[in-house]
Amino acid sequence: MPHPVFRPPWPARRLCGARARTGIPAALLLLLLYGVSFGSDGAVLTFTLVNRTSYHLHAVNNNQPHAYLPPGSSIQAELPAYSSVAANARYSPGQGVRGEAARYFESDCTTTSSGTSSVSQDCSSNSSDGSESGSTSSHSSSTSCRPIRWQVTAAELDSSAEGDAR
Amino acid sequence: MNHRTLALAILPPLLFLPLPSLAQEGTPDARSSLGLHAAYTLTPGEWSSSPIDKSVKLFAGGLSFEGDLEFRLGPRWTLAVAGAYATLAGSEWEKRAAEGGDRIEISGWMAHAALLLRPHVPLGARDMLRFEFGPAVLFSSGAETLDGVAYTYQQLPGFAVGGTVGAEYLHLFGGNFALSLRAGILFFPGAAESAYTSPGTILIVPVALGLRFLL
């Protein structure tokens, strides 16, 4: 008989018998949800914007503005997996040229799960003193994302400027 | 040899002499003090120029305010804790952009704090020349608003470490006041860096006029 101080506040054999049969799938479901929610193991989506024009650009990707991006240079952002990217680029002021383009990119990420999980309990009759045990093991998942790259060209920017002029 | 050349030749070696030996009869000693200055701050170098036209300033200097509290270490030495705040003027680049039809608004500021060691060189009964040097930290931020979007300038560092050297001329009047004229150079190597530009040194040159209250 455990000391009253160490006695758990719930009935000792609550998970045994019929309730255990519903408890185990519930635990597995929780583990599965864990894998979906937190199993992306820090995977990131890489977005790169490259200035392929001969002018400086002002660019915004997912509300992160960048001013005076020189010709030929790029900016890179690492976003959480399964993010989408909204990007916008325009000629920087003071160059005598106008033009703007906006693009929206959906992420291309995949998650693979592997391993097993288990929950075990001791529901034998000699556990009437309230002893029980549980364990979980080896559940993992990995997420990978295809990098997104937007090469901003003068043709893209100029076409929007022509559209505005019409 | 003109006076300027003579001063440049003589003053640096004097700093390495035991300064108390320079004390003359009736010359003022170093004292703890509080200094308040208004300054015009220059921003020389490429870091402050427009990335598109280097001849136009993106961050021009302007009026700034300085303050310091210094503590006497000896008859010819003080240690000061100093700080300053300056706004950056972007009107030159705003005007240039407007000529091309782009309406932009530029805002920016910078502040620095420094720990300064100040050797004193008495020049007479009421005049003193002080030099200063020490580490400094810079805080700055700025943005350009174009069509409602604020583009933060990455070349203005939120925090940077560097140093400063300078000189101050003091003219004592009354028992506890001095008129102060000072100039210095603050340098922050590699601080003007963004994700797509090479690091550059931020140079700031304040020229200040103010009062010093001797404690």
The pLDDT value recorded for residue B8 is: 53
CB B115 within 8 A of CB B163: no
- Contact (CB<8Å) B93/A68: no
The confidence score (pLDDT) of residue A144 equals: 87
- Distance in Å from the first CA to the final CA of chain A: 88
How far CA A92 is from CA of A73, A153, B47, B124, B185, in Å, comes to 14, 14, 18, 57, 32
Contact A56 B52 (CB under 8 A): yes
Q: Name, in order, each residue with C-beta under 8 angstroms of B132's C-beta and a sequence gap of 6 or more.
A: B80, B116, B117, B118, B164, B165, B166, B167, B168, B184
* Number of inter-chain CB pairs under 8 A, A vs B: 51
pLDDT of residue A28: 55
Tokens at residue B85, please? 């705040």
CB–CB contact A68 B51 (8 Å): yes
Q: Which is higher by pLDDT, B18 or B118? A: B118
Q: Which residues of B touch A98 (CB under 8 A)?
A: 101
- Among candidates B120, B121, B7, which has minimal Cα distance to B70? B120
φ and ψ at A6, to 5 degrees?
-95, 5
Instruction: Report pLDDT for A11.
Output: 47
The tens-digit pLDDT sequence of chain A (166 residues) is: 444 444 444 444 444 444 445 555 565 555 544 444 444 467 888 999 999 999 999 999 888 899 999 999 999 998 888 888 999 999 999 998 999 999 999 988 888 877 654 443 433 333 334 334 444 455 677 888 889 999 999 999 987 665 554 4
Of B102, B151, B197, the CB nearest to A94: B102
pLDDT attached to residue B197: 65
Q: What is the pLDDT of residue B26?
A: 65
Between residues A27 and B93, which one has the greater pLDDT?
Answer: B93
- What pLDDT is stored for residue A21 in this prediction? 53
Where do runs of H (alpha helix) occur along chain A? 18-38, 154-165
Asked if B195's CB is within 8 angstroms of A93's CB, the reply is no
ipTM of the complex: 0.73
* pLDDT tens readout for residues A96-141: 899 999 999 998 888 887 765 444 343 333 333 433 444 445 567 7
Q: Which pLDDT value is given to residue B5?
A: 56
* Span of A103-107, B34-38, B117-121, B192-196 with lowest mean pLDDT: B192-196
Cβ contact A112:A82 at 8 Å: no
Percentage of chain B lying above the pLDDT 90 cut: 65
Out of B52, B195, B197, closest to residue A95 by CB: B52
| The predicted structure's pLDDT at residue A6 | 44
Determine the distance in angstroms separating the CA of B157 from the nearest CA of chain A, rounded to an integer: 14
**3-class SS of residue A89:** strand
pLDDT at res. A120: 39
Most confident of A108-112, B98-102, B154-158, B160-164: B160-164
Which of A30 and B71 is assigned the larger pLDDT?
Answer: B71
pLDDT reading at B85 higher than 80:
yes
Q: Kindly state the average pLDDT of the residues B75-90.
A: 94
Determine whether the interchain pair B195/A94 forms a contact, defined as Cβ–Cβ distance below 8 Å. Answer: no
pTM for this prediction:
0.70
Residues of A in contact with B51 (CB under 8 A): 56, 68, 70, 92
What is the separation, in whole angstroms, between the first and last Cα of chain B?
Answer: 40
Residue B194 has pLDDT above 60, yes or no: yes
Strand A44-51 and strand A148-152: pairing? Answer: parallel
